[in-house]
Amino acid sequence: MKMEEVSMSSLDNSKLEGLAQDILSDLVEDACLGLCFEVHRAVKQGYFFLDDTDQESMRDFEIVDQPGLDVFGQVYNQWKNKECVCPNCSRSIAASRFAPHLEKCLGMGRNSSRIANRRIVTGNNTNNKSESDQEDNDDVNDNDWSYGAEKKAKKRKSDKVLLIFFAEILQV
């Protein structure tokens, strides 16, 4: 049935008001029923009373706001020396030095793997140096392997180019 079929212009104000009231009561009824169904489902599923907390348990988890204590109510010492145990060498290291130590100890940095390997080898063979260890030492001392030496070599090359360039200018 279309709205056009029934003319509403014939309705007086009292009827319109009654109609509006009916629609409103329908909507309120819907809201109430919706809540009832929701609550019933929550009850049957077992999560309706989950948000209930007794005051005693709430007191246990209150945030503490007192000087000298942290939010949990524990004594907080600002200058306490925090120490970490290295998982590799089992040494106790200050927290501020833990990351640099791990870099060297685990061999995760640039050249630290070589240092770590060398340490392991020297730890195992204090007196007898193996060939591989000697090779390692050679590598460390070798200019071809070092990062700084590469830089220097590059510098030298650029210097040579400059010298040749200036020599050509002078000749001209």
Partner 1 sequence: MTPFLDVFCTQTDRHNVFYPLLRQIMNKDSQMRAAINQKLIEMGERERLKELLRAKLVECGWRDQLKAHCKDVIREKGLEHVTVEDLVTEVTPKGRALVPDSVKKELLQRIRAFLAQHATL
Contact positions toward partner 1, by CB under 8 A?
A: 1-9, 11, 16-17, 19-25, 27-37, 39-40, 43, 48-49
Amino acid in position 11: L
Closer residue to partner 1, CB minimum distance, 26 or 83: 26
Count of C-beta atoms within a 10 Å radius of residue 116: 19
Closer residue to partner 1, CB minimum distance, 30 or 139: 30
**Residue 84 Cβ vs partner 1, minimum distance, rounded to whole Å:** 49
- Strand (E) or helix (H) holding 55: helix 55-60
**Residue 50 Cβ vs partner 1, minimum distance, rounded to whole Å:** 12
Question: Any residues with CB less than 8 A from the CB of 136 and at least 6 apart, and which?
Answer: 114, 117, 118, 121
Return the exposure string of 55-93: e unless at least 16 CB atoms fall within 10 Å of the residue's CB, then b: eeeeeeeeeeeeeeeeeeeeeeeeeeeeebeeeeeeeeb
Residue count of the chain = 172
Closer residue to partner 1, CB minimum distance, 23 or 161: 23
**Residue 88 Cβ vs partner 1, minimum distance, rounded to whole Å:** 56
Closer residue to partner 1, CB minimum distance, 6 or 63: 6
Closer residue to partner 1, CB minimum distance, 34 or 100: 34
**Residue 24 Cβ vs partner 1, minimum distance, rounded to whole Å:** 6
What would the two tokens of residue 10 be? 């014939």
Place of tokens 């685990």: 106
**Residue 19 Cβ vs partner 1, minimum distance, rounded to whole Å:** 6
